[in-house]
């Protein structure tokens, strides 16, 4: 179908004012799912009921549903003849946050975390919006099956917040048991933009995120006799300052990176020099080269400072890079060159904008880092109520961000925009051989 005719068909199918390519009742149905998901959040690795709920809905829509992929992960496939394979991913997990939005459908759920503690649970990162958009896309793409050819894979991923879910789904055969996608797509809501708008970063969009633990050893003793000790608090203090020079003195000023020491603990009392101090760092970068460099220099500097303080080789600091690493999200520029004009046609040029990358993390990047090198794009979906957004801009007051107990997305317009935009993108991408 010629591009222009397809575009007009899409416009004709769109009911004005609803923000969605379907009647208002369709958006009402999606909002019902949204409220259910919002009121029933589950922590990372505990998404059992969420996955079952999505499986039921997607099955009823005509998708072939496979559950239990990489834990509670779900893959829903709609095979619709020859054509491209496109994957759209939503994440399912919520956070240990006590909701303070005052919404009538707020979460009052509590759960036991992996440490055995009873914690409140809230969808404070908007994953409930992502899942609802996924359901909306499923319904739309199943309804206009005659208008496209190919295979649509909708995946609901567990454990995004701990950087484990994408890896688990890939390790459980996502690209072996199901067709390898030609493109991977996803949304993440943003508290920086009003609902109705979509933003994108071309190239690197989100960072490599590493958590690093350092245990600095010393030889403890009486605080009045420092000459008989090797004080790990002083060694740790020197280490913290020296680590700050990796980014400021050793990396090119044009390369972006973060080394933050977020936690430092050592000692019990004024007059006791302890045996050890522990540091917890978050280390962020975009390229693999910069990541490797940062991690290597953190180790070398920590150990070098301990050596200079007289610590023997067997008591040098222990530097551990935690397993929960999330690789950078790289948005394929060629894919974005195709997607952006479609978004602009649907939403208007002013509603679609290029933005800078951010140093936050997302494990969506993993889907593009296998040997298949599937190009992907994660788009920012505006989530703030438009009036609140304007008022906040005028007053300079900050709106609650992601992971805030008061994060309150404007669900209707955000979901409507997400479904409408992604539907248009999918129809267009399905129409051309990759
Ligand atoms: Zn999050
Ligand atoms: Zn998130």
Ligand in nearest proximity to the CA of 363:
2
DSSP secondary-structure letter at 238?
A: H
Q: Which residues contact 414 (CB under 8 A, 6 or more apart)?
A: 129, 189, 195, 196, 381, 382, 383
- Model confidence pLDDT, tens digit, residues 291-301: 999 999 999 99
More confident residue, 434 or 351: 351
Task: Compute, in angstroms, the gap from residue 123 CA to the centroid of ligand 2.
Answer: 9
Annotated catalytic residue, options 99, 128, 161, 332 = 161
Ligand in nearest proximity to the CA of 378:
2
Q: Are 189 and 130 a contacting pair, CB within 8 Å?
A: yes
| Band (17; pLDDT cuts 50, 70, 90) | very low
What percent of the chain lies above the pLDDT cut of 90?
A: 93
Q: Is residue 172 flagged as an active site residue? A: no
Task: Compute, in angstroms, the gap from residue 187 CA to the centroid of ligand 2.
Answer: 10
Task: Compute, in angstroms, the gap from residue 22 CA to the centroid of ligand 2.
Answer: 27
Mean pLDDT of 326-336: 97
Could you please report the per-residue DSSP string of 175-207? HHHSPPPSEEEEEEEEEEEETT-EEE-SEEEE-
Q: Supply the pLDDT for residue 103.
A: 96
| Band (122; pLDDT cuts 50, 70, 90) | very high
| Band (52; pLDDT cuts 50, 70, 90) | very high
Closest-CA residue to 246 (of 312, 293, 308): 293
| Band (433; pLDDT cuts 50, 70, 90) | confident
Q: Which of 177-181, 246-250, 332-336, 395-399 has the lowest mean pLDDT?
A: 395-399
Q: Token pair for residue 93?
A: 């997990």
Closest-CA residue to 431 (of 21, 7, 113): 7
Mean pLDDT of 226-253: 98
Q: Token pair for residue 323?
A: 């397993």
Task: Compute, in angstroms, the gap from residue 319 CA to the centroid of ligand 1.
Answer: 26
Task: Compute, in angstroms, the gap from residue 24 CA to the centroid of ligand 1.
Answer: 30
pTM reported for the whole predicted model: 0.90
Whether pLDDT at 9 is above 80:
no
Q: Token pair for residue 422?
A: 């992604």
Q: Which residues are within 5 Å of ligand 1 (an ion), measured at CB? A: 125
Quickly tell me which residue has 């961000």 as its tokens: 401
What percent of the chain lies above the pLDDT cut of 70?
A: 95
Q: Supply the pLDDT for residue 23.
A: 64
Task: Compute, in angstroms, the gap from residue 291 CA to the centroid of ligand 1.
Answer: 21
Task: Compute, in angstroms, the gap from residue 68 CA to the centroid of ligand 2.
Answer: 21
Q: Are 205 and 361 a contacting pair, CB within 8 Å?
A: no
Q: Supply the pLDDT for residue 323.
A: 81
Q: Supply the pLDDT for residue 4.
A: 43
- Model confidence pLDDT, tens digit, residues 301-328: 999 999 999 999 999 999 999 987 899 9
Whether pLDDT at 412 is above 60:
yes
Task: Compute, in angstroms, the gap from residue 48 CA to the centroid of ligand 1.
Answer: 19
Task: Compute, in angstroms, the gap from residue 264 CA to the centroid of ligand 1.
Answer: 24
Task: Compute, in angstroms, the gap from residue 188 CA to the centroid of ligand 2.
Answer: 6
Mean pLDDT of 399-405: 96
Q: Residue 216's beta-bridge partner residues?
A: 277
Task: Compute, in angstroms, the gap from residue 377 CA to the centroid of ligand 1.
Answer: 18
Mean pLDDT of 142-164: 96
Ligand in nearest proximity to the CA of 403:
1
Mean pLDDT of 333-345: 98
Q: Are 429 and 86 a contacting pair, CB within 8 Å?
A: yes
**Nearest-5° Cα angle at 359, 354 to 363:** 95
Torsion of CA 399, 403, 404, 408, to 10 degrees: 60
Whether pLDDT at 16 is above 50:
no
Q: Is residue 91 flagged as an active site residue? A: yes
Annotated catalytic residue, options 26, 42, 47, 91 = 91
DSSP secondary-structure letter at 17?
A: T
Q: Token pair for residue 336?
A: 């974005």
Q: Supply the pLDDT for residue 8.
A: 41
Mean pLDDT of 346-374: 97
Average pLDDT over the chain, rounded to an integer:
94
Task: Compute, in angstroms, the gap from residue 93 CA to the centroid of ligand 1.
Answer: 9
């Amino acid at each position: 179908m010629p591009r222009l005719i397809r575009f007009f068909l899409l416009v004709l199918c769109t009911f004005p004012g609803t923000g969605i390519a379907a009647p208002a009742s369709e958006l009402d149905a999606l909002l019902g799912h949204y409220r259910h998901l919002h009121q029933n959040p589950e922590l990372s690795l505990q998404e059992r009921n969420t996955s079952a709920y999505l499986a039921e809905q997607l099955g009823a829509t005509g998708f072939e549903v496979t559950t239990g992929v990489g834990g509670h992960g779900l893959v829903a496939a709609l095979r619709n003849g020859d054509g491209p394979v496109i994957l759209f991913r939503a994440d399912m997990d919520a956070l240990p946050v006590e909701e303070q939005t005052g919404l009538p459908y707020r979460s009052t759920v509590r759960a036991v975390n992996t440490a055995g503690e009873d914690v409140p649970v809230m969808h404070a990162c908007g994953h409930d919006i992502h899942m609802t958009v996924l359901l909306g896309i499923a319904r739309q793409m199943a309804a206009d099956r005659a208008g496209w050819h190919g295979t649509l894979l909708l995946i609901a991923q567990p454990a995004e917040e701990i950087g484990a879910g994408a890896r688990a789904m890939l390790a459980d055969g996502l690209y072996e048991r199901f067709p390898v996608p030609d493109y991977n797509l996803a949304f993440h809501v943003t508290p920086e933009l009003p609902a109705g708008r979509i933003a994108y970063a071309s190239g690197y969009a989100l960072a490599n995120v590493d958590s690093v633990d350092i245990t600095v050893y010393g030889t403890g003793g009486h605080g009045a006799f420092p000459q008989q000790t090797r004080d790990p608090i002083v060694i740790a203090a020197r280490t913290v300052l020296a680590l700050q020079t990796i980014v400021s003195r050793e990396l090119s000023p044009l390369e972006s990176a973060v080394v933050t020491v977020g936690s430092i603990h050592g000692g019990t009392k004024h007059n006791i020099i302890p045996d050890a101090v522990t540091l917890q760092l978050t280390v962020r970068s975009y390229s693999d080269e910069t990541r490797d460099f940062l991690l290597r220099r953190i180790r070398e500097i920590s150990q070098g400072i301990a050596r200079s303080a007289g610590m023997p080789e067997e008591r040098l600091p222990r530097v551990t890079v935690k397993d929960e690493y999330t690789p950078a999200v790289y948005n394929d520029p060629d894919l974005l060159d195709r997607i952006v004009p479609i978004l602009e046609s649907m939403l208007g040029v002013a509603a679609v904008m290029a933005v800078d990358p951010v140093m936050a993390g997302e494990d969506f990047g993993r889907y593009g880092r296998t040997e298949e090198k599937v190009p992907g794009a994660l788009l920012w979906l505006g989530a703030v109520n438009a009036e609140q957004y304007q008022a906040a801009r005028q007053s300079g007051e900050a709106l609650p961000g992601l992971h805030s107990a008061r994060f309150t997305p404007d669900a209707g317009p955000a979901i409507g925009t997400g479904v409408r935009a992604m539907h248009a993108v999918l129809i267009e991408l399905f129409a051309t051989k990759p």
